[in-house]
Every structure is written in structure tokens, then in C-alpha cells.
Amino acid sequence: MSKLPPSRLGLALALTTAFVIPSCSTAGSDNMSGSEADQQNAQPESGTTSTFAKTRFPIVLAHGLTGFRQLFGVVDYFFGIPSDLTSSGAQVFVTQVSAAGSAEERGEQLLQQIEFIAASTGAGKVNLIGHSEGGLDARYVMGVRPDLIASLTTVATPHLGADLADFLVDNLAPDGSFGQAVLALFGNTLGTIIDLFTGTPEPQDAVGALHSLSSAGAAVFNQKFPGGLAATRCGATPTTANGIPLFSWAGSSTLTNIFDVSDPSLGLASLFYSESSDGLVGRCSSHFGKELRDNFSMNHLDEVNQLFGLTSIFETSPVSVFRSHANRLKNAGL
């Protein structure tokens, strides 16, 4: 990408700060044994009243960059979604990994938790659903342990990279630059602070995260884990990989609710994209497996029912989208 004027650099810096704060988070404890940490990080939800979403295999939710299972013990990253799925009959686990890290680093952490879930439930496999970078983490798990995955679904995952990440790499944080050092300090410190809010510290790697989300980093990752991707940008995507059913969906809007304070930042971020986007992930970049829909009137936070359920009143509720997908998996015998 070409270098852009100082005004755009300032906008990118402001957006970087704006995004990492509202969608905070992280995972596991250094003072626990591996199995104890996995058990705490992969927390099940409880309270079944229906069978509409009662899948054969447990549903595992994986958060994105600066994500969390639960913040302050109160606020869910997947806001209102785990409890709804559980009340509809699903067995749901919400995982936690490092707030900032590469897809490989976070994928290894996610793998340990999925191994625990698959073994402790006796199911042997899970229906894995990842939002944003969580989808890349999920693809890593499928690539190294396909035997653990019954199905894999990505929600607004930048499989081909994100234009905003490319801009930051090209203009603010080229390899070995002072800007990269500053970004690393900022991102890693933020991740540590977020740990204090969740009480589960993990190593942070903001530079690794930025690399994973860039188009160059995505190209390297995709060479290692090509399952579910099209041969050409925006081309037809295979619906299975090694017999594993694959799905995806995403939004392509930014300003969806006038009361949501995160919408303006996502609207500004969309200016960095050459295609329609949810503010952080381009429409074609989100394509993976069976594309259920790539144009929901949702932005990047709406897709997980944030902030606090303030989404478009003219669009299907994100909670309903997850519930319907669980029913789809159930009907497929998954």
C-alpha cells in the first residue's frame, strides 16, 4: 500500500486506540496447571429450556483481537449469545486466549482448551465458531487437529487480511521501526491491563497480531492452512475441508444504531477499505466455506451483539443468527 498523508496517519492512530479499548480482553493463569487453566478459560454455560439448538457436539465460541470471555465477571464478549444458545438446548463453551497475539500463538492456546472440552464432555469433537481473529485461531486448530473439529464457522474473519492492518504496517509499524516498537509497547501494555479486568494473564504479542491480520501475514497463514478458501479473491469457496463442514457470515455496514458510541469509529475505519466492509473486515476477505451471508446490516461489533445489544432495528438480531446456525448444525447431525 502507498504511504498516506499525516492526516490519515493521525486517523489510523486514533482508530487503533478506539478499537482496542471497547473490545478488551484475554486468557489463562500462569499459576495454574495446564488442565486447570484450560478448565477456567473454557467455561460452560448452563440453563436449558428448549431443544431447538441442541447440537450433537458442544458449541465452542472463540473471541477476536482484544476479546474476552467475560469482562469484570459481568459483560460477555458474545453479548447475550451463550445464554440464548444454552436456553435453546446447546452445550456451549466460551474460550479465552491472549488479547493480542498471532493466529498461531492464540491458536495453540485455543487448541489446549478444545482438547480439554472434547475430552471432558466425552464428545470427542466440537462445533467451533470464531469471530474476527478468532476465526483464524479456529482455522489453525482445524489445520493441526482436524479430528477435534465437527464443524468450523467463521464470523467476519479477515481471511485475506484487513486493509486497516495493512495501512498500519506500511505507515506506522514497518519491521524494525521505532513506530513498531511504540505499537508493541502500547498493544502489549493494553493487553496486560485488560488481564487485570479478567484476572487471567497471558503473554501479549501486538506485533504478531498485526502481522496475522495484514494481507501479507494472511497470505503466509493461508499457504499453511488453505482449507475453506477460494482459489481467487471473491471466488467460490469450498464448503468442506477433509470432510469437515465449513461456514461463514459477516456484515457489510458500519453506522447501524445512533445510540451505539462505537459506530462512528467503525465508520471512519471503513474509509481505509476498497470494498464494502463491517468497518474492520472487507466483504470478500470474510468469505470462507459455505457463505451463509456476507451483507448483514451489521458492523464488526454488531456481529457479536455489541455494544450491549445496540444493533440495527432493521436487521435480524445477531443472537437469532447464532441460534439459527446452531439449529442448522443440529439438523446436519453435528
| CATH for 260 | 3.40.50.1820
Query: How far, in Å, CA of 225 to CA of 310, rounded?
Result: 35
pTM of the model: 0.88
Is 126 domain-assigned? yes
pLDDT of amino acid 36: 47
Is 223 domain-assigned? yes
Report DSSP letters for 268-291, one per residue: HHGGG-SS-BSSSSBTGGG--SEE
User: Which ranges of the chain have pLDDT less than 70?
Assistant: 1-48, 173, 195
Is 219 domain-assigned? yes
Q: Which long-range contacts (CB under 8 A, 24 or more apart) does 205-210 make?
A: 205/98, 205/100, 205/101, 205/102, 205/105, 206/100, 207/173, 207/180, 207/183, 208/100, 208/101, 208/102, 208/105, 209/65, 209/100, 209/101, 209/102, 209/133, 210/165, 210/168, 210/169, 210/173, 210/183
Q: Which of 131, 159, 287, 300 is catalytic?
A: 300
pLDDT of amino acid 111: 98
Q: Which of 205, 278, 294, 302 is catalytic?
A: 278
Is 225 domain-assigned? yes
Q: Note if 263 is an active site residue.
A: no
Structural domain boundaries, residue 220: 6-331
E strand spans, the chain: 43-44, 59-62, 70-71, 75-76, 92-94, 126-131, 149-155, 240-241, 244-251, 290-296
pLDDT of amino acid 165: 95
Q: Which of 132, 151, 252, 265 is catalytic?
A: 132
Cell triple for 240: 468442506
Q: Note if 300 is an active site residue.
A: yes
Is 306 domain-assigned? yes
Q: Note if 137 is an active site residue.
A: no
Is 1 domain-assigned? no
pLDDT of amino acid 297: 98
Number of domains in the chain: 1
